[in-house]
Amino acid sequence: MPTPPFLEGSQLQSSTAKAPTFLSLPLHIRVPRYLRIDSDLEPLEEGEWRSLSSTPAFLWEGPRPLPGWNMVEIDMERSVTGAAAVITFETASRIHTVELPLRAGKITRRMLRVPRGVRRITLCPINSRGTFRLKHFRLVWLTPRFAKDRLLQRLATNHRLYRSYPKDEVLSLLNKEARSKCRSWHEIALDHYNSTFFHLDPRISSEYHQWIDMVESLGQGLSYVAGAAPLTTQPVPKIVFSLGLILEENVTREAFGNSLASLMEQTYSQWQLVVSAPDMTSESHAWLAALCESDDRILLLAGEAAGASEDITAQLEVISNTMVGDWLGLLTTGATLSPDALMRFAHLLGEKPQAGFLYCDEDRLDVAGHRHSPNFKPGWNPDLLLSTPYLGHLGLWSREQWQACRRSLGGENIATMQATDLIHQLALELIAPAHKSHQTLAWRVPQILLHVRDASLSPAMAAPGVPETRHLARVSDYLARQGGAAVAEPGNVLIEANDVASETAENVRVRWQLPDSQPLVSLLVPTRDGVDILKPCVDAILAHTNYRHFELLILDNQSECPATLEYMRDVVNRDERVRVLHWDQPFNYSAINNFGAREARGDIIGLVNNDIEPMNGEWLTEMVSQVCRSDIGCVGAKLYYPNGTIQHAGVILGLGSIAGHAHRFFHRNEDGFQGRLKSTQNLSAVTAACLLLRRSVFEEVNGLNEEKLAVAYNDVDLCLKVREAGYRNLWTPYAELYHHESISRGADDTPKKRARWLSECEYMRSTWAEQLDNDPAYNPNLTLVHEDFSLR
């Protein structure tokens, strides 16, 4: 059987063989050099293994590792996602277990403490059934000083409690906690350190409940997650909230009673509920009237007084004329508010008096009343709202905005809409006013304030019709009223639509019309030698781009390879769209592209890496149609590694301290968090590996920062400058390209490169600290450690 290089010389046998089977691994001298197959592992061809259970094991034999701090490194190819390796240290009195979530395509590194008196060590390479290849594994003993520094740095960078604190303050806080709990500081620190690697998947109910226990049950809520002051220390503005509740004929007493009870339990008492019940039977009307009479803040509009039952606009008119509040909204039947929901909204209005619309995070309740499927929403995201109705089941408008949005409503579908449809239709009307006023009118409370009953408990929520057709109709009506510069059509199919909310299955693609006179696009491709990657990139762009009005500028940074120079001469001669410009200076990505932009002839600048290959001919058409919109700044594409996994689906600020790629290593066909891998949306930043923006915008923000950001984060800085100038950055899933990232630039693996990278990180942190800590396209309840939108 073929043997992988790191197992050369070993004999692979099952653990039932008479003689022990050892696997020679490249381990550090101070830890075991041999592993024996212990249980539930089957060797396959070419170094591949099959795990036969969720607890397969190698048994370590040989010298024990030194006690104290160690660094474990493991790299594994595997057939399952979300797996973890587990190392177990057994002493005479205790069993110490360390779980190592495995990273796709990268070495997993983790500090751990080896206890004294270890008698047995086992390695579970993968905690599930499946196949794997163990490519790299070793343990390295660490000096206490080095371990302490790395541990404090990790907490200061990634832990929700210590993030952005100096390391000495982190240590002081750890010592304080250790004294209060009568434990050593390194035990406390290690617990917190391990928690930064822990993934809580919001799609898994048990893990969501763990998050609830850690965050909400401690009474920390929003102040814990978003850094807000406790409610008791904030002034409360005097605001009356009026909510409308439109009941349908088949509403259950239980569903309505739950909604009503949640209002009665509010810690904020200034509210009004207007119940519209045009189609109640006499029996239903009796119990409905009895419930509504329990509080004089509740007003029941029944029968003809509620308006025509078949026309929701008529009912909305009656509700609006009856509401007395400063802020007006709609609540879907069966949905319940958390006790402090209205108080949270009131406090937000104290901070954002200019707001015109409010919404919040929400989750669902099953038949037994158990919470599941949280919907942690981004901040105001107009292009995501056009793609999918992400706002959910509760919206609040200022009276001024409510009236303005109602006046704008139209379209043949409006009369037969459901209440949730109406929330999104009204919200769509905020997009144009917000753009014209250059103000953010919509604000979010990033906390679960609403719980939506599953359709099995609340039949009124089971809206008829195909969901994507309903949202498509909403968006089509809205676009038609805006002048018809775009058309809506069914978008990407969401294959994972689950319980998060029935509406999240909706996905719409908006096609924006190109200008009558198509603008010239200047694609800037920096390179130095490397004809083996440059040629496929340039040839693919020239051959497989349907948008023809572009020029391609190869920015040559001191190439010396004869084959590269020959290729550049050849491609210029055979395609008049190609020019070669020579940059005879040391490598500086920002300076090279600024030079290219000055020499470019196009009205649109395209930053393109030399290891990019289009996957479809529509990529540039899609990006140009988006970037020509007056309110859009930078436009990014959906990029894949050659193996088909996601390399770039937008940039999340604060991820990994500065910024990181959303959904990295997800598979090509996955929907992503709340379907966002398949939805056009606004993001704070996108990668310059494939980025378009108008020349006028590029020049307005003075291009890329070639003085402070020669290599890293210059694209993030550019996008943030563009956003600060009043434009929305955008990512589209309909422009798809391969990105051979590992080829285009080497690692920061020399002292000089490391120093440069640290300097660029410091510049980003000092310049954009507030933005890096609060990305409006993300949610503060989600991780800043991993790229998978797991819980924080």
SS (H, E, C) 292-361: HCCCCCEEEEEHHHHCCCCCHHHHHHHHHHHCCCCEEEEECCCCEECCCHHHHHHHHHHHCCCCCEEEEE
User: Are 589 and 462 found together in one domain?
Assistant: no
Q: Is the pLDDT of residue 461 over 60?
A: no
Average pLDDT score over residue span 461-478 = 66
Q: Is the pLDDT of residue 696 over 60?
A: yes
Helix (H, G, I), strand (E, B) or coil at 186: helix
Q: Is the pLDDT of residue 247 over 70?
A: yes
Confidence bin at 625 (pLDDT 50/70/90): very high
Please state which of the ranges 164-168, 437-441, 451-455 shows the lowest mean pLDDT: 437-441
User: Are 372 and 504 found together in one domain?
Assistant: yes
> 259: number of CA atoms within 13 Å, CB side?
30
Range of the domain at 180: 147-195
67: burial class by Cβ within 10 Å (0-12, 13-18, 19+)? middle
Average pLDDT score over residue span 226-230 = 46
What CA–CA distance (Å, rounded) separates 594 from 123? 51
User: Are 393 and 256 found together in one domain?
Assistant: yes
CATH classification of the domain holding 100: 2.60.120
Please state which of the ranges 120-134, 233-247, 488-502, 669-683 shows the lowest mean pLDDT: 488-502
Does 612 fall in a domain?
Answer: yes
Give the Å distances, CA to CA, from 528 to 479, 532, 588, 708, 745. Answer: 46, 11, 12, 22, 11
Give the pLDDT of residue 555.
97
Torsion of CA 381, 383, 388, 391, to 10 degrees: 20
Does 276 fall in a domain?
Answer: yes
Q: Is the pLDDT of residue 504 over 50?
A: no
| Sheet strand arrangement including 130-141 | 41-43, 49-51, 130-141, 68-78, 108-114
Region label for 703, one of left (φ > 0), alpha (ψ between -120 and 50) or beta (otherwise): left
Which range scores top for mean pLDDT: 216-220, 503-507, 715-719, 743-747?
A: 715-719
What CA–CA distance (Å, rounded) separates 513 from 516? 9
Neighbour tally for 676: CB within 10 Å: 26
Q: Considering 463, 495, 512, which residue would you say is the last residue of a domain? A: 512
Does 49 fall in a domain?
Answer: yes
Please state which of the ranges 14-23, 114-123, 559-568, 753-762 shows the lowest mean pLDDT: 14-23
User: Are 182 and 290 found together in one domain?
Assistant: no
Q: Considering 473, 492, 512, which residue would you say is the last residue of a domain? A: 512
Q: Is the pLDDT of residue 253 over 90?
A: no
User: Are 243 and 363 found together in one domain?
Assistant: yes
Contact 289, 277 (CB under 8 A): no
Instruction: Give residue-wise pLDDT tens across range 82-126.
Output: 678 889 999 988 998 888 887 766 788 889 999 999 989 998 888
User: Are 445 and 484 found together in one domain?
Assistant: yes
Instruction: Give residue-wise pLDDT tens across range 527-586.
Output: 999 999 999 999 999 999 999 999 999 999 999 999 999 999 999 999 999 999 999 999
Does 221 fall in a domain?
Answer: no
Give the pLDDT of residue 394.
92
Taking CA 413 as the corner, what is the angle to CA 409 and CA 414, rounded to the nearest 5 degrees?
35
Give the pLDDT of residue 310.
63
Q: Is the pLDDT of residue 646 over 90?
A: yes
Give the Å distances, CA to CA, from 733 to 387, 627, 641. Answer: 11, 14, 15
Residue-averaged pLDDT of the chain: 83
User: Are 630 and 681 found together in one domain?
Assistant: yes
Confidence bin at 463 (pLDDT 50/70/90): very low
Q: Is the pLDDT of residue 314 over 50?
A: yes
Q: Is the pLDDT of residue 402 over 80?
A: yes
CATH classification of the domain holding 383: 3.90.550.10
Average pLDDT score over residue span 685-711 = 97
Instruction: Give residue-wise pLDDT tens across range 196-213.
Output: 777 677 777 777 887 887
Q: Considering 455, 479, 512, which residue would you say is the last residue of a domain? A: 512
Does 418 fall in a domain?
Answer: yes
User: Are 386 and 484 found together in one domain?
Assistant: yes
Percent of the chain with pLDDT over 70: 84
Give the pLDDT of residue 542.
97
What CA–CA distance (Å, rounded) separates 694 from 606? 9
User: Are 312 and 451 found together in one domain?
Assistant: yes
Contact 135, 77 (CB under 8 A): yes
Q: Which of 205, 200, 199 is CA-nearest to residue 373?
A: 205
Please state which of the ranges 9-18, 588-597, 618-627 shows the lowest mean pLDDT: 9-18
User: Are 173 and 35 found together in one domain?
Assistant: no
Does 788 fall in a domain?
Answer: no
Q: Is the pLDDT of residue 392 over 80?
A: yes
What CA–CA distance (Å, rounded) separates 281 from 270? 31
Q: Is the pLDDT of residue 335 over 80?
A: yes
Between 426 and 739, the more confident residue is 739
What CA–CA distance (Å, rounded) separates 624 from 416? 36
What CA–CA distance (Å, rounded) separates 730 from 719? 10
What CA–CA distance (Å, rounded) separates 458 from 171? 51
Give the pLDDT of residue 16.
32
Give the pLDDT of residue 468.
52
Confidence bin at 416 (pLDDT 50/70/90): low
Which residues is 605 bridged to in the sheet? Answer: 522, 693
Structural domain count of the chain: 4
Which range scores top for mean pLDDT: 129-143, 147-161, 495-509, 603-617?
A: 603-617
Please state which of the ranges 41-50, 302-311, 408-417, 605-614 shows the lowest mean pLDDT: 408-417
User: Are 506 and 533 found together in one domain?
Assistant: no
Give the pLDDT of residue 136.
81
What CA–CA distance (Å, rounded) separates 276 from 323? 12
What CA–CA distance (Å, rounded) separates 280 from 715? 58
Does 223 fall in a domain?
Answer: no
Q: Which of 531, 634, 539, 621 is CA-nearest to residue 577?
A: 539
What CA–CA distance (Å, rounded) separates 605 from 520? 9
Does 215 fall in a domain?
Answer: no
Please state which of the ranges 6-20, 168-182, 678-692 shows the lowest mean pLDDT: 6-20
User: Are 405 and 551 found together in one domain?
Assistant: no
